[in-house]
Structure 1
Amino acid sequence: MGIKSFLASRKNQQKACTDLPIKVSDYMSRNLITFKSEELIEKVIDSLIKNRISGGPVVNDAHELVGIISEGDCIKQISESRYHNLPMENNTVEKCMVKNVETIDGNMNIFDAANKFLESKRRRFPIVENGKLVGQISQKDILKAALALKGHTW
């Protein structure tokens, strides 16, 4: 009597894995709260608190990415204003934002993006296509993707 294999056909299993969404664009946030470089820092702080976010992209009128502002940037501005005994009400986003922003490609594999988060110590990466901001991927989005793909790809 022959031995029966209880494994399913591996070809079908591999095909199912390739049909799963594993690109950054499948999990990125598209409806973003953005800021303008001329906005006041106090308004940004208020928006961060109200929307329960830790930062956001800064765009110009053509919706091109010009920087990114975070809670840490705002805290730094508060600290410097206090240290130098200067009012904060005239400080704009442009003075505080990070201008050299690292972006990632929306077609990048979600696991490669996770590795990029580990290497860079960033909390979010903007996604730009044709010079325009189209979305953002955060560490939380990577966690959501990992839960959705659990058991299928690792």
Structure 2
Amino acid sequence: MAYTLEINGQSHEVDLPGEVPLLWVLRDTLGMTGTKFGCGVAACGACTVHIDGVAVQSCQTTLETVDGPVTTIEGLGTPGAMSAIQRAWVEHDVAQCGYCQSGQIMQAAALLAETPDPTDDEIDAAMWGNLCRCGTYPRIRAAIHTAAKTIQAEG
């Protein structure tokens, strides 16, 4: 069956079965490899994307259930310029191996869209489902606070 998806502001038509996970549509069909495969059971957060502004795990979101515009890590920010959260990630040298970071950033961006000045407890609650094997959680939290301040200053 053919599905039309809006991804990062562009329309994409894919002819795939509805039960195909969005993760594989993004990676294998459309070549958007910034969204990572981690566990396949929505337990690690590496595959986090936004659907209509809400953070979801694309490994467990089927093509037939996508009901709004999709934003991936490739669509965060503007062409040629990083978003405030991406700049904060660099400033705080968050990435170690880097594998989980696109999911971490997408989850953090959703948090900041909903809670512009989160507390440590709010950050921990929002980020709990995004695992980092390298343990960069303190730098992630610091980067989120920096991004929140930057967004407020630029607002």
Q: Same fold (TM over 0.5)?
A: no
TM-score (norm 1): 0.27
Q: Which has the higher contact order (CA 8 A, sep 6+)?
A: 1
TM-score (norm 2): 0.27
Computing the radius of gyration from Cα coordinates, the structure with the larger value is: 1
